[in-house]
Amino acid sequence: MAVVIREIEANTMRFRCREAGSGGEPVMLLHGFPETSRMWLPLLQRLEAEGFHALAPDQRGYSPGARPQGSVNYDYAAIASDVFALADAMGWERFHLVGHDWGAGAGWSALAVEPSRIASWTALSVPHLGVLGEAIRNDPDQAERSAYITFFREPGAAEAAFSAGDCELLKRVWAESGDAENADYLEVFSQPGALTAALDWYRGTRGIDPHDEKVRFGPTGTPTLLIWGNRDTAIGRAA
């Protein structure tokens, strides 16, 4: 079975997803900003070869059928609820979870809400949100690294910067991350409201400072792996 693209109804919305494998242990892969499920294509293929059943959704705001307007629809509780709604739609009671960047933010949120359903958790780049929030508040280096969030939260300003010159800034971000195959990303971000919806993850969650009344980021007993690059420009050692 090759990687297939299909739509899945969950949380009263329709998510565009990439799926690979069937019948094996379930794995959900959550992308970050500014990407889509396409970033997981090599891993989807590898997971299928290893006998897993893997699903990578274009997350809330990125899927045309799952793009509610307004940053209030992009808080920690909302993005966590999508994880479990998609798992329910797949018939998965327990599953392995992997997330990168804001996908890691969604994963940490899901882990805080319903940890018993997550068999294992792998976070790429983004550490425990409670720890990251403390580092942003107390470590000057991390505060400087995270200063871009303030700009991303400015309505209109970030959209103008990212869309200028045929999305040249976005193309540069993708190139610097080693992903030159950006046609899928461009197709998504050229859709009406998509860029604003993606940025609403920053606005609806008050940056990455996790003081959401609905989600509490405490210790976890779930088997957890954090993968962080020592040349990561957004996350420093204090986090």
- Each residue of 215-228: pLDDT tens digit? 888 899 999 999 99
Q: Which domain holds residue 30?
A: 4-227
- pLDDT given for residue 89 in this prediction: 99
The stretch 110-125 carries a mean pLDDT of 97
Q: For residue 235, tell me if it sits in a domain.
A: no
The stretch 121-125 carries a mean pLDDT of 98
Q: For residue 233, tell me if it sits in a domain.
A: no
Model confidence at 1, pLDDT cuts 50, 70, 90, reads low
Model confidence at 184, pLDDT cuts 50, 70, 90, reads confident
Q: For residue 193, tell me if it sits in a domain.
A: yes
**What does the alpha-carbon distance between residue 62 and residue 197 come to, in Å, rounded to a whole number?**
7
How many independent structural domains does the chain possess? Answer: 1
Q: For residue 234, tell me if it sits in a domain.
A: no
- pLDDT given for residue 217 in this prediction: 87
Token couple for 204:
């609806």
**What does the alpha-carbon distance between residue 114 and residue 121 come to, in Å, rounded to a whole number?**
12
Whether 30 has a pLDDT exceeding 80, the answer reads yes
Whether 43 has a pLDDT exceeding 80, the answer reads yes
Q: For residue 91, tell me if it sits in a domain.
A: yes
Q: For residue 236, tell me if it sits in a domain.
A: no
Higher-confidence position of 215 and 59: 59
Token couple for 56:
């990578």
Model confidence at 175, pLDDT cuts 50, 70, 90, reads confident
Exposed e or buried b for every residue in 137-155, given b needs 16+ CB within 10 A? eebeebeebbeebeebbee
Whether 155 has a pLDDT exceeding 60, the answer reads yes
Model confidence at 199, pLDDT cuts 50, 70, 90, reads very high
The stretch 191-211 carries a mean pLDDT of 84
Residue 104: strand, helix, or coil: helix
Neighbours of 8 (CB within 10 A): 19
pLDDT in tens, 60-109: 999 999 999 999 999 999 999 999 999 999 999 999 999 999 999 999 99
- pLDDT given for residue 207 in this prediction: 54
The pTM assigned to this predicted structure is 0.94
- pLDDT given for residue 125 in this prediction: 96
Q: For residue 232, tell me if it sits in a domain.
A: no
Model confidence at 170, pLDDT cuts 50, 70, 90, reads confident
The stretch 37-61 carries a mean pLDDT of 97
Whether 212 has a pLDDT exceeding 60, the answer reads no
Q: For residue 13, tell me if it sits in a domain.
A: yes
Give the CATH number of the domain where residue 59 resides. Answer: 3.40.50.1820
